[in-house]
Structure 1
């Protein structure tokens, strides 16, 4: 590059993403960062190994991230979370104390679920329980005779445990955000979202 600074170059990224047993998002971010620094505008990649099934989307997210950072002469952060697939920078929007304060104000039977640094919180007017293992919470909820509610709580608690284990942000009734690692559900931005299970009135 020093000898021929203006010559177009191509980087092949597949040898690293395909042949390294590591999640490809971080590898791709580093490679596209090198492309940005060296002025390499052409990239050849392949999507063959099952563990690189989202490499095209990762390359797209990485090129946008690095282009924006270079244009602003800034670090590649704060431009989008597409490459934060397994962990979030701020996984817990509320502290354990804040969740406890909210739980103390609840006056209905609907269960709320949240995560904080100490584990999974589930609460309603009957009590507030905290654990790191979703299975240990279930016997305390008293929903053995309510199959539909038990199924819903099981699905949400499993999702909350996954989020807590990985350090991802959990929001009740919303899917986990896997960045560009998975397709996101389409959402009509011109309409209000329907209420989730927790906000629907119980019969």
Structure 2
């Protein structure tokens, strides 16, 4: 038996992940083994990936005689079942134990928390943080915090899980960045920029004709 899902996904102006989940659930219950998928309209640009995720979820749920819940978050592109990794009280406790100037960013149910040893700020709009961060003369740090806070604001607005220095998980709606888990994570762009500036400054100080200082030898 064949089901064509494009009549609904293409002709309904709505995000397709939920529609696809329902249609593939019907396919699973009726043992429909073939599906005609159409990906033409721009708003259905990820429907093939969504169908692939949905068929796996529905197959597993039917096999286990269970609800299609808890198998994968691939179709929960906008909202997550557990969007917060911490609580406001937990963040306040963690902030009180910080002893360095590096900023931590967390998203919990009452807003976006930014804290280090000197301050603990809570807002829901990324722009509201800037006057109190003290990064007016540090372009690299300001750029980094701006990018992270924009991501945190999106996560808070939609109810998505936010983890500092990591991209948001959009499920089947977007490709995921590949990561080699067997190696240490490379330095970020702002740290690389700082290291490059430090190297340039050292060259200016010692002069072009002098040999670079071997820091390890001094140790």
Give TM-score scaled by structure 2 length.
Answer: 0.85
2 CA distance for matches of 1:81 and 1:196?
Answer: 28
Say whether 1:184 aligns with 2:173.
no
Displacement after TM superposition at 1:187 (Å): 1.3
Checking the alignment, whether the CA contact within 8 Å between 1:173 and 1:198 is kept in structure 2 is no
After superposition, where does 1:44-193 map in structure 2 within 5 Å?
44-193=36-185
> For the residues of structure 1 that align with 2:63 and 2:110, how far apart are their CA atoms?
40
Partners of 1:29 and 1:100 lie apart in 2 by 39
Do the aligned residues in 2 keep the contact of 1:143 with 1:149 (CA within 8 Å)? Answer: yes
How many residues are paired up?
195
Q: Distance in 2 between matches of 1:192 and 1:79?
A: 29
The alignment's TM-score, normalised by the length of structure 1, stands at: 0.91
What is the CA–CA distance in structure 2 between the aligned matches of 1:196 and 1:80, rounded to whole Å?
29
Deviation, structure 1 residue 188 = 1.6
SS of match in other structure, 1:77? coil
d(CA) in 1 for partners of 2:149, 2:162: 10
Q: CA RMSD in A?
A: 1.9
Give the corresponding residue for 2:34: 42
* d(CA) in 2 for partners of 1:40, 1:193: 44
1:150/1:195 CA distance change after superposition, 3 Å: same
Closer/same/farther in 2, CA of residues 57 and 155 from structure 1, 3 Å limit? same
Task: Return 5+ residue gaps in structure 2 as ranges.
Answer: 199-219
Asked if structure 1 preserves the Cα contact closer than 8 Å seen for 2:101 and 2:118, the reply is: yes
Confirm or deny: 8 A CA contact 1:112 1:198 kept in the other structure. no
Bigger Cα Rg: 2
Structure-1 residue corresponding to 2:216: none
Q: Deviations over 1:30-56 (max 9, x none)?
A: 000000111111000110000000000
Alpha-carbon spacing, 1:125–1:199, altered in 2? closer, same or farther (3 Å):
farther
SS at match of 1:152: helix
Unmatched tracts of structure 1, length 5 or more = 1-8
CA distance in 1, matches of 2:105, 2:129: 11
